[in-house]
Every structure is written in C-alpha cells, then in structure tokens.
Amino acid sequence: MIILKNVNIIDENSRVTAVEIGIDKGKISELGKCVNVEGAQILDCGGKLLMPGFIDAHVHLREPGFEEKETIRTGTMAAAAGGYTTVMPMPNLRPVPDKPEVMKEYVAKIDSDKVVNVLPYASITEGEKGKELVDMKSLLQLGAVAFSDDGVGVQSSEIMREAMKKAAELGTMIVAHTEDNSLKNAGSVHQGEYAEKMGWRGIPSACEYAQVERDIELVRETGCKYHICHVSTKETIDFVRKAKKEGLKVSCEITPHHLTLIDEDVKDGNGKMNPPLRSREDREALIEAIKDGTADIVATDHAPHTSEEKARGVEKAPFGIVGLETAFAVLYTKLVKTGVISLKRLQEVMAEVPAQLFGLSNTGKIKTGYDADLVLVDIDEEYVIDPERFKSMGKNTPYGGEKVFGKVLWTMVGGKVIYDVR
C-alpha cells in the first residue's frame, strides 16, 4: 500500500484542500485522513498539488512507419513527463490500422513498449483513402477506442454518412479531422492579413468549418456520436454551440496552441500546424468556448517531426508541433494565472471530461475506487521550456525559451510512479 501525505487536491467546490490518499492494488482506496498501515510506502508530496492524470485524445506516436520522428516508447515517455497517464494515438501510420491483422500487431507493439495507458484509434476508411469503410466491429473488439481518418479527413459525404450509420449502430464515435481539400489552397498558414504581409499562401477558415457544417447535418440524420478534432475557427464554435443546444451528440477539442497563439506568432517552421493558427478573433472565440463548455476538452495534437524537416521554412516544413510536455504549463501560465479560466476548469478539460467523453469510467478523477492515475505538480515553480530536455524525439515547439509555471514533479499510472524529477 502507498499513502500520499502532505498533498493538496482541487475538491468538488473548486477549493484547494489538503488530504491524505491511500493507494492499494493500483487504485485509490482511501481519501481523507489515512491511518498509517504497517509496511505501507509513505510518499510525502511536499504540499504540492495532486491532479488526476491528464488524458490526451489526440496524439501522434508515429510508430509504425515514421520511427525517425517518434516511437511508442519515446512518445509515451513524453506523455509521462507532461503529466499524461492516457493517450490516444491517431491512425495515420504505415501501415494504417485498418484491418484486424494490422491492429493485432499494432496493439501488441503498444503493449510491449508503452509507458502510459494507450488507447489507439483505427481508421474510418481503408488506408485512410476515403473510399471503403473498415470493419469497425472487428477493430473495436481488438481495442480501437474510436475511428478517425486524421490527417486527411473524409472528403465524400456519402462515405461519411455510411461511417456514421455504422458507428451509431455499434455505439462508437467518429473523430473527425475536418478539412475540405478543395478549399485548402495549398496553403501553409491562416488566410489573412499576416499571410499577405509575409507572402505566404493562406488556408481559409472555410476549409475547416464547411466540413463541420456538412458533418453536423449528417449527425442530425444518423444520431452518431461525433467529435471534432483541433477546432480553430469561430465559425466551427458557432456550429458546435448550436448542435449542442439541439441535443446532438457533438463534441470538440481545442489545442493549447490554438488557445494561446495566433497567426502573427508564426515565425518559422515550428509555428506551422494544421489547422493553422488563426486570427485573434478566432482565438477569443475558442477561449470563450472553453469557458462556457462549448468546447469539451483540450487535446495537444502532439505531432513530432525531425529538426531537419522543420528547418525547411514555413512553406516547405511539414505541419505539426509537439505538445505533450508543454500543455499543462502553457495553459496554466497563460490562462489560469491570468484569470481567464479556473484551475478546476483546466483539470476538467485535461482529465475529467476526456474520461467521461470516451467512456473511461475508472480514471480522470481523484476518487475512491478509481485507478491511481495521478500527477503531482508544483504550480509555483517557474522554469524555461527547453526542447533539448524533452523526452519526445520531436523538438518542434513554438514555446522554446518561454518562462512558464507549473512543473510536473511525478506521474503515476496504476499506482506506480513512472516519471519523477524530485
């Protein structure tokens, strides 16, 4: 048995409260004043803040197929270093997990190499080519958490309708990368004044929200559970807000970078991501959506690339930045310390709501009977983000050199400390 002493949590009334926590057989067994048990391991938490382990519903671990960028091992080590205890990797891999035999091998590799809990997506269509649906039932039985053609999106309305009908029948979720390729314009950044000033080709907001509008109409028709990846535009937020008011099963995620940066912050390849950083007005709409619950969760879209790829410049570099090791500190520093959202709300969007949304009934809260998936943070410690110290193979971040608060001290999965810098 483990007893956590001298520790604070955020209680149901959003107050920071001192408690003691008992952990037995990987689960939280006691919460309150724990009686010392002979032989128990005592962990003194130094009066720091304990939170439920963070859950990231959108990461790229790159393996199999792109091991020069990241592996299951390094990506989950990065997750642990960022306080994440569960991650959900996207299926744009080589081979794509679109068939039972591929998924079996993929899950076996995950199980052998993972440091944190890993719940993989399967693709919606074979090879993410947008033409033939996968055998969803078989892939669910083999461990798929949901279905996504992330990176490309489903361009055909009819294929998406078929996918939603099947997902509704099976009680699973479609997790959509919403991008109308006919509107992408071979762009690199947000289409606006800054792109014009810099001479870069821009991606219009309609590239995202046009497909969201299409898909919500299909949700209305099929009753499917539908989750929108990396929302970046104010128009998408408007569609989601209306869909929720209508009672449709629509949810969405926003990344830390879309909540804290705008198009004018793009200086080099490390500021290039898809969807791109948008306007100040878009960011304000995203923040409001986090505040009022229109946006359900934060997800990093952790997307490692090699330094050589990102050094090619804004127009030639691949899309994507890493985020697992910076998410909490960036959001705590820029949104909580500035009074934009509460610490409780940050805990909700990083842990509690992702667990609820994806049906993870034994994690996401500090509660008796729940898995001891926990992170201890020092919200008062200031440090400088140094990409060279990342556990991730990817160093591609726009936050390098920034001073932030909120250092992860240790991360625990199933009652076992898997990361510790004390």
- Active site amino acids: 301
One-letter-per-residue 3-state SS of 284-306: HHHHHHHHHCCCCEECCCECCCC
Phi and psi at 326, nearest 5°, equal -120, -15
Cβ neighbours of residue 359 closer than 8 Å, sequence gap 6 or more:
none
Between the alpha carbon of residue 96 and those of residues 69, 86, 158, 362, the distances in Å are 17, 21, 22, 29
**Can you list the pairs that 189-198 forms with residues at least 24 positions away whose Cβ atoms lie under 8 Å?**
189/263, 189/266, 189/272, 189/276, 189/277, 189/314, 190/263, 190/276, 190/277, 190/278, 190/279, 192/263, 192/278, 192/279, 194/263, 194/264, 194/266, 195/263, 198/314
Number of other CB atoms surrounding residue 12 within 10 Å = 9
Helix axes 234-246, 280-292, angle to 10 degrees: 30
CB contact at 8 A, 190 and 109 = no
Amino acid identity of 9?
Answer: I
- CA atoms of 241 and 237, how far apart (whole Å): 6
Phi and psi at 364, nearest 5°, equal 95, -5
What is the separation of C-alpha 332 from the centre of its chain, rounded to a whole number of angstroms? 16
Phi and psi at 177, nearest 5°, equal -85, 105
| Helices and strands: H and E segment counts in the chain | 13, 17
**Three-state DSSP class for 161?**
helix
Structure tokens given for 291: 């505040």
Radius of gyration of the CA atoms of the chain, in A: 21
Q: Determine the length of the chain.
A: 422
CB contact at 8 A, 324 and 79 = yes
Over the range 206-234, which residues count as b (16 or more CB within 10 Å of their CB) and which as e? Answer: ebbbbbbbbbbebbeebebbbbbbbbbbb
